[in-house]
Copies of this chain bind each other. A is one copy, B any other.
Amino acid sequence: MDFLAWMTAAQQRSEAALSHHQPGASVTPERLHEAMRYSTLGGGKRVRPLLCYAAGEVFGAADEQLDLPAAAVEMIHAYSLVHDDLPCMDNDRLRRGKPTCHVEFDEATALLVGDALQSQAFQLLADAPLDAGKVVTMLSLLAHAAGSRGMAGGQAIDLAATGKTQSLAALEFMHLHKTGALIRAAVLMGAHCGNPEGAELLALTHFANRIGLLFQVVDDILDAEASTATLGKTAGKDAAQNKSTYVSLLGTAAAKAKAAELRGEAHAALDRLGRDALRLHQLTDYIVDRHF
């Protein structure tokens, strides 16, 4: 199967799992469930589920074992977008080409959508068809990645830095938390659905940290270069909010060179696995090449 066919199939599988493993819009409270579905279904590149499926494949996990962990990571991601878009955070009105949750519904509902999606993500782990020991490992990975020393902490670091020029090291530290932690969890959770060894987990962690940063560098370049219509979310908002980015600190050319360097390091980390990691290699290239 070529990469695009594999990716499309995995995205459809992920969409189906997300739809199946949350309450229908006719379940009480209807409006909350409708808003949860609005915020999780029918959009997004599903990068984190793709990474989870691809990493699982390397270590012999079956798709059926990966569906719920992959959906759980995506639900955490979706909740974070809903909360980040709120007026007290980024105050954004457009996401994936649609009105953000609090614009389409209301602020209180958007707050509860994020809260309930986080709970639902952990519920999915409890329901995954895996040994209890593996579920507990995933629980720890996901809770740590989402929490104050992971994604939520990265948001707080980002907030504190808004309006100030950051050093490159500080920017990297922020991204390793804000987006990197969940990407790391997606890769490691996928791997743990199979049977990885200790040294392999180290190489995978290194890989995941590289692509987490890579993803962010590419996002910064896209944000600086693309239009709102292409992006499906408000473009140029980093500059408007005076946020430090790879582009603002390095310039576009050096940011692209940084992306190339991270891509190379990601591939090298995968090579150290000594396993067939085709889809992870392809996803790495896809992250870079998606728009430029």
Residues of A at under 8 Å CB distance from B? 22-23, 27-29, 31-33, 36, 79-80, 83, 86, 88-89, 106-109, 111-112, 114-116, 118-120, 122-123, 125-127, 131-133, 135-136, 139-140, 142-144, 146-150, 152-153, 155-157, 159-160
B116→A31 contact, CB < 8 A: no
A115 touches B112 (CB 8 A): no
Q: B148 touching A120 by the CB < 8 A rule?
A: yes
**CB-based nearest B residue for A133:** B132
Determine whether the beta carbon of A139 is less than 8 Å from that of B119: no
Closest to A141 in B: B126
Select one of B111, B116, B127, B152 contacting A147, CB under 8 A. Answer: B116
**Residue contact B108 to A148, C-beta cutoff 8 Å:** no
In the complex, A125 Cα to B83 Cα: how many Å?
24
User: If the complex has contacts A136-B126, A159-B109, are A143 and B120 also in contact, measured as CB distance less than 8 A?
Assistant: yes
This protein's copies in its complex: 2
A146 to chain B, nearest CB (A): 4
Measured between beta carbons, the chain B residues less than 8 angstroms from A23 are 148-149
Collect the chain B residues with CB atoms within 8 Å of residue A133's CB.
132
Instruction: Return A238 CB to nearest CB of chain B, in Å.
Output: 17
A156 touches B126 (CB 8 A): no
- Residue in A36, A125, A126, A132 whose Cβ sees the most chain B Cβ within 10 Å: A126
A36: B residues at CB distance < 8 A: 148
Q: How far is the CA of A146 from the CA of B139 in the complex (A)?
A: 16
Contact A148 B111, beta carbon cutoff 8 Å: no
Please measure, in the bound complex, the distance between the C-alpha atom of A31 and the C-alpha atom of B158, giving whole angstroms.
Answer: 12
- A31/B152 contact (C-beta < 8 A), A88-B108, A120-B143, A123-B144 known: no
